[in-house]
Structure 1
Amino acid sequence: MTNIVIRKNKADFSWHAAGAGLLSSFVGFASTFTLIVQALVNVGATQKEAASGLMAVSIAMGVAGIALSIKNKMPVSVAWSTPGAALLLGIGAVKGGFPAAIGALIMAGVMLTLAGLCKPLGRVISKIPSSVANAMLAGIILNLCVAPVHAMAQYPLYFAPVLLVWLIMLKVKRILAIPCAAIATLVIIYLTSDLSHITRGSILPHLMLASPVFNLSSLVSIAIPLFIVTMASQNIPGVAVLNVNGYKPDATPLFTSTGLCSLLAAPFGGPAIGLAAITAAICAGEEAGDDPARRYWAGVVCGAAYIIYGLAAGAATQLISVSPPVFIEAVAGLALMGALGNSLVNSLNDKNSRDAAIVTFLVTIGGHAFFGIGGAFWGLLVGIAMLYLFKANAERN
């Protein structure tokens, strides 16, 4: 497909693009904001710190999306790293507590920025075998995808309506299935929980600056895997979605910009952000209008909506806090089922790397830490080592 010629016209606002941007923001936020909150809580954040993180990452996404869309005149969608949040949720409490997790988020932001500034580094990451990267991601999110089963066993009356909404929307409008399930979850929590302790002051938006702690364990267990899954599962596919729709951006400035925004959000508890993939298709495709040159408004409107959603982070986090953790994990599990299916398929597609992918998956899901380093890193390392070992043996033979 030939490159799209972008018009520089201040009067090119598109209502179709604006509508696509609103839909994209709603799907992106409502689908997995519960995952972000629970991930931060699991690595040691208080409810106020988790609200700060959700607010910071939402604003970072919004600012990056608006700036990049206007600058490039392309519908650049930015999203938090859902695989990265799943990684944090799978790791749980870390040595050094939440300050160490903040340190890891800052280091991941530095690496994401360097991936854009240092082109060889970006090329190295892009060469990580897709089968191994997908197997690692599948291992990270598998336990979360089982959470709906646990929720049905423990809270059948509460979770059954959520599951029913999800199933109905899968049939009616698949892309709205998770957002509607998330809304149903919040409604059920509101109707069945004691909210008397929640005050107006506790739901007002505010950012909390944390004091980071840097150590080798959090670097290897969190920062490096977070960097890899964000690059492999979001940044690279995000560029591919733009390319498929006829846009040919220079990828490195996009990586640098989202990395810098990740770095700015991290001290406030914000997880890493990167280019969106699924929601990017909404903004860059025909849903955003017939004229590709005007679709960049979808990225602008999507970014503006994320900033508004971020201001409601305190209320959303307080509401989630009164729910049993497995209930929130179950909604996150529903949101990640598609990602699990895609990761498993992509990890096993190539029969030459299938053994390495399976070992990566098993080591990652085992979750055992060696030398204070989590299973995700070891799964990736073992998988890459097996691939190159088999390749070397094949070349000798």
Structure 2
Amino acid sequence: MPSRLSFHDLTFSAVIAGFVAVLVGYTSSAAIIFQAAEAAGASVAQIGGWLSMLGLGMGVTSIGLSLYYRTPVVTAWSTPGAALLVTSLHGTTINEAIGVFVFATGLILLCGVTGLFARLMQYIPQALSAAMLGGILLRFGLDAFTSLHSNFVLAGTMCLVYLLAKRAMPRYAVVLALAAGLVVAGLQGDISLHGQTMTFAAPAFVMPHFTWSSIIGIGIPFFVVTMASQNAPGIATLKAHGYHLPVSPLISWTALTALVLAPFGGFTVCIAAITAAICMGEDIHPDPKKRYMAAVAAGIFYLIAGVFGGSIGMVFTALPPALIHTIAGLALLGTIAGSLYRALENERQRDAAIITFLITASGVTLLGVGSAFWGLIGGVITHLILSIPARNKAQPPAKG
């Protein structure tokens, strides 16, 4: 049963942890959201609306779930899912993109309501999901260093600051790299904020349009990546900190929120992992049952960020592309490394995983369907073919 609510649990440490969680979330991946919205053909005003809806959705769910369960439940957008959208939405209309959001979040909601989440993910080997994610994110890692060609001073300074901070203050490495990039870009005169003010971007409804190519080529991989690389680690983070909550309600409420917001650009709301861990540390409160206020504080800061989502969108349009590409790539280095490790650690699934990775990273489009789907299909076929002899050998010889 949820413990009793007390505002005495709201400490200064909890407020700071909530602020840092939101700051890390936005600085590490808001640039990827911006690129995904651009790939879908969204205007500057619509991008601001997307960020507003995401902030409001994460704020409401973080506050609501944390207060109900008296547990630090922090929600987030799906950064791996957004990365998939960046590489897959080119050539689609914004209506088709919204259709992908509605389809994928509806599928996630179905898994939550029916309890199929855990069982469904068992049919896709973890190595293949990780390999697909690694293939999707490869471009971002490469872009972080190809930016050295277009603006060596800016990208080089950001990379150097990131490495130094990674050694001394790893939690703030991305934030400090972004700060260094902003300073260099400002000195170079590459930031244009003239005439921009703090504004709320009114959400704009976009009628979803469903096509087989977008649903199969983008919707299904987006669903798999979001569940395997965002929701699953989020649930694992809760359990690792001793919080054993019912999984289905968490998935259902976050998916329902995303489904309502999808036509307005709120493409996903998931259980957070990295930012959630920030709100679960011992420095927040010695009693684990009283750390939920850090997640509540994070939710409040998410709401504030949502109100000014339009300004966040305009800020990204004012920044040089080299800065956005570099910070996105640096923020995803850990995820890329973890994905490749999980993809290749199982020797029996290594061949299937590398095929999944290479097909996904190739960017090939077949029959109008994107590479992430074909990478997953290629990996599954390879896994099935290569596992047949092992299964036959494992069977005892027939008697008689």
Q: Which residue of 1 aligns with 2:181?
A: 185
Matched, 1:26 2:29: no
Q: Which residue of 2 aligns with 1:70?
A: 67
| Cα distance in structure 1, aligned partners of 2:333 and 2:347 | 23
Are the counterparts in 1 of residues 192 and 319 from structure 2 also a CA contact under 8 Å?
Answer: no
Look up the SS of the partner of 1:211 in the other structure.
coil
Q: Which residue of 2 aligns with 1:366?
A: 362
Q: Which residue of 2 aligns with 1:304?
A: 300
Q: How many pairs align?
A: 391
Q: Which residue of 1 aligns with 2:229?
A: 233
Q: Which residue of 2 aligns with 1:53?
A: 50
CA drift of 1:243 comes to: 0.9
Are the counterparts in 2 of residues 108 and 227 from structure 1 also a CA contact under 8 Å?
Answer: yes
CA drift of 1:198 comes to: 4.0
Gap regions ≥5 residues in structure 1: none
Q: Please identify, of 340-349 and 173-182, the stretch whose mean Cα deviation from structure 2 is larger.
A: 173-182
CA drift of 1:188 comes to: 4.5
Are the counterparts in 1 of residues 52 and 200 from structure 2 also a CA contact under 8 Å?
Answer: no
Q: Which residue of 2 aligns with 1:167?
A: 163
Matched, 1:93 2:90: yes
Q: Which residue of 1 aligns with 2:258?
A: 262
Q: Which amino acid is 2:85 matched to?
A: L
Provide the TM-score with structure 2 as the length reference.
0.92
From 308, 314, 332, give the equivalent of 1:318: 314
Q: Please identify, of 387-396 and 78-87, the stretch whose mean Cα deviation from structure 2 is larger.
A: 387-396
Are the counterparts in 2 of residues 38 and 329 from structure 1 also a CA contact under 8 Å?
Answer: no
| Cα distance in structure 1, aligned partners of 2:17 and 2:390 | 49
From 241, 244, 247, give the equivalent of 2:240: 244
Q: Please identify, of 16-25 and 237-246, the stretch whose mean Cα deviation from structure 2 is larger.
A: 16-25
Gap regions ≥5 residues in structure 2: 394-400
Q: Which residue of 2 aligns with 1:112?
A: 108
| Cα distance in structure 1, aligned partners of 2:39 and 2:209 | 17
Q: Which residue of 1 aligns with 2:380?
A: 384
Are the counterparts in 2 of residues 106 and 266 from structure 1 also a CA contact under 8 Å?
Answer: yes
Q: Using a 3 Å threshold, how does the CA distance of structure 1 residues 30 and 394 change in structure 2: closer, same or farther?
A: same
Task: State how 1:266-285 maps to structure 2 within 5 Å.
Answer: 266-285=262-281
Q: Using a 3 Å threshold, how does the CA distance of structure 1 residues 112 and 189 change in structure 2: closer, same or farther?
A: farther
Q: Using a 3 Å threshold, how does the CA distance of structure 1 residues 367 and 287 change in structure 2: closer, same or farther?
A: farther
| Cα distance in structure 1, aligned partners of 2:213 and 2:313 | 28
Q: Which residue of 2 aligns with 1:158?
A: 154
Q: Which amino acid is 1:224 matched to?
A: I
CA drift of 1:12 comes to: 4.0
Q: Using a 3 Å threshold, how does the CA distance of structure 1 residues 19 and 322 change in structure 2: closer, same or farther?
A: closer
The root-mean-square deviation of aligned C-alpha atoms, in Å, is 1.9
CA drift of 1:324 comes to: 3.9
| Cα distance in structure 2, aligned partners of 1:54 and 1:189 | 23
Q: Using a 3 Å threshold, how does the CA distance of structure 1 residues 382 and 347 change in structure 2: closer, same or farther?
A: same
| Cα distance in structure 2, aligned partners of 1:52 and 1:190 | 26
Q: Which amino acid is 1:100 matched to?
A: E
Q: Using a 3 Å threshold, how does the CA distance of structure 1 residues 190 and 39 change in structure 2: closer, same or farther?
A: farther
Q: Which residue of 1 aligns with 2:391?
A: 395
CA drift of 1:51 comes to: 1.2
| Cα distance in structure 2, aligned partners of 1:170 and 1:200 | 34
Q: Please identify, of 54-63 and 284-293, the stretch whose mean Cα deviation from structure 2 is larger.
A: 284-293
Q: Which amino acid is 2:17 matched to?
A: A
CA drift of 1:389 comes to: 2.4
Look up the SS of the partner of 1:280 in the other structure.
helix
Identity percentage of aligned residues? 35
CA drift of 1:36 comes to: 0.7
Q: Deviations over 1:178-231 (max 9, x none)?
A: 122233434545552363764448x44322222221111111122111111111
